[in-house]
Amino acid sequence: MGRLFSIGKVIQVRVNSLCVSKLAFIETEEHIRHVVEMLNWLYPSASALSRYAASLHDIGKKIYLQSDFVQNGRKRDGRLTRKNLIADFYQQDVQEVFGPSDAIERYFAFLSRNHVRCYLVRRNPQDPDSEIVAARYHLDPPFGNHAASIEIEDLQNVPESDLRYVHSLIHLHHNFQVDKLVAVAAQYGESIITDLYRLMTADQEGSQWAEYVVQKLEGGEEKPQGGFGFSEFAVEVTAEPREILREGAHVRGSVVLRSERQPHLGERTLEVDYYVSEYDLTPQKFLAPSKKGGRGK
């Protein structure tokens, strides 16, 4: 962890189908580490270019923060300048400190400024007064369009001859329309499509198994069963998540994985470092006041 904590993943921990009781936060650099580990494990012959892309693919989550998050009251937080955030990402010397508790407190303030949306599911969708049976909450991230925003100048430790290729992989890993894929394939050949697929697979596997650990250790209602079937590997659990550390909000856990379809890859232990805080979300917070016993029920 650097000196400037940036939120890369926010995981909702549910009490039931209606209510969220906690939020868990994974740092940007921690998520990137998960993706690099998945790429190295699942694709031992992956190209150096795809490895560069994996190590940098979500840098935008750190350096392109939403202005509404950077604001500290009415002032912009001088610790969270793009220059400082880039330096911290690349483990260069930064004097300022913006720790996990600072980031979580700031994120809660950010959410309070109309950055949460609630989607209600009623027993009878045609009747706005029928019983609410489920609720889903969309929480805006503290960063903007992190893949599309990346500039070549943001990418360090990549050979100059490979910068545009790696830049294209990062842009495309969340924005892979057919016309864009055809354009980069025409420019770089089939290899970039293979590298993009591998990056996306590692990103998906890293994200989902990290959430699996969080949900299991925090007792969330939503407990993924594993074996997501996203890729050709059919990754599954061989040992359930175990807690390694819990100190206040800081938790570290691990899960042991294997590929059912490619057992020669052996087992892989993925450690997940995260921070958790209570945060209540209920439908009542988003319902309009009832009128004559009507829609607020």
CA distance 20 to 164: 42
The DSSP H or E segment spanning 37 is helix 28-42
CA distance 120 to 282: 10
CA distance 29 to 32: 5
Q: Which residue has the tokens 């590997």?
A: 233
pTM of the model: 0.92
CA distance 236 to 229: 9
Q: Check: CB of residue 79 under 8 Å from CB of residue 4.
A: yes
CA distance 84 to 31: 20
Q: Output the pLDDT for position 294.
A: 44
CA distance 207 to 32: 9
Residue from 41, 43, 40 nearest 55 by CA? 40
pLDDT in tens for each of the 297 residues of the chain?
789 999 999 999 999 999 999 999 999 999 999 999 999 999 999 999 999 999 999 999 999 999 999 988 778 999 999 999 999 999 999 999 999 999 999 999 999 999 999 999 999 999 988 999 999 999 999 998 888 899 999 999 999 999 999 999 999 987 777 778 888 888 898 899 999 999 999 999 999 999 999 999 999 876 555 555 667 899 999 988 999 999 999 999 999 999 999 999 999 999 999 999 999 999 998 886 654 444 444
CA 140 to chain centre: 12
123 CB neighbour count, 10 Å cutoff: 10
Q: How many residues does the chain have?
A: 297
CA distance 190 to 196: 10
Q: What DSSP designation does 173 have?
A: T
CA angle 246, 22, 248 (to 5 degrees): 25
Q: Which residues pair with 252 in a beta bridge?
A: 245, 273
